[in-house]
Chains A and B, each alone.
Chain A
Amino acid sequence: SYELTQPPSVSVSPGQTASITCSGDKLGDKYACWYQQKPGQSPVLVIYQNSKRPSGIPERFSGSNSGNTATLTISGTQAMDEADYYCQAWDSSTVIFGGGTQLTVL
């Protein structure tokens, strides 16, 4: 079965750029999307179709997807961006989530 691999944790200083990767076999041939989830809250879609931002998502969130890796980039990271982030793709009639990355802003 298809798998998506994320680093368990990423740390970033306020104002710096955070990059969270998501790896899967030929992931670049599929669409990837990203969700943000804060403690006690439901997930929020922050990037869809590799690099598009839904309405209301700040411009500091961007995405890319090529080869075997999709990347979520947060430019000028703010304290409010501290959360868990999940990548997601679709393969063989199955929705697949990555294991999640805890982003710490310190």
Chain B
Amino acid sequence: EVQLVESGGGLVKPGGSLRLSCAASGFIFSTYSMNWVRQAPGKGLEWVSFIRSSSSYKYYADSVKGRFTVSRDNAQNSLYLQMNSLRAEDTAVYYCAREWHRDSSDLDVWGQGTTVTVSS
């Protein structure tokens, strides 16, 4: 079964750091580009970051550029999001999602999400 499982969420104070993980199974992880997408409580989907299958390209939303870093370990079938200098507005459910078609960037597999709460 194709599956993505996020972990690492939790409660953190403003200015703090957190590292999210996404464990992939059931497919050849090293051949797919991956994304992080978040959803603040009661709000819509917001794209956060993209990483190419080989890690050769990494892109970020303006709202997190310079604070978040995406990485992956293809040998471990894992995706990561290092989040520094966290703000209250980073509070959200964070999903990892697989890119299905490179030319259209549609996301066909999503994890269940992990919740990040930034509060003092």
Contact = CB atoms under 8 A, between A and B. Distances in A.
Nearest to A98: B44
A88 B47 CA distance: 10
A94 B44 contact: no
Interface stretch (B18-26, B75-83, B109-117): B109-117
Interface in A17-65: 31, 33, 35, 37, 42-45, 48-49, 54
Given A89-B105, A95-B50, A97-B37, 10 more contacts: A31-B106, A35-B45, A42-B110, A45-B108, A48-B100, A84-B44, A93-B57, A97-B45, A99-B44, A100-B45
B111 A42 contact: yes
Contact of A97 (B46, B50, B101, B113): B46
Interface of A: 1, 31, 33, 35, 37, 42-45, 48-49, 54, 84, 86, 88-90, 93-100
17 contacts: A31-B101, A31-B104, A42-B112, A43-B37, A44-B110, A45-B107, A48-B104, A48-B108, A49-B106, A86-B44, A88-B106, A88-B107, A90-B105, A95-B105, A97-B44, A97-B45, A99-B44
A88 B113 CA distance: 19
Contacts of A42: 95, 110-113
Nearest to B95: A42
Interface of B: 35, 37, 44-47, 50, 57, 59, 61-62, 95, 97, 100-101, 103-108, 110-113
Contacts of B45: 35, 37, 43, 86, 88, 97, 100
Main secondary structure on B side of the interface with A: strand
Contacts, number: 69
Contacts of A97: 37, 44-47
Contact of B59 (A37, A43, A84, A94): A94
Nearest to A47: B106
Contacts of B57: 93
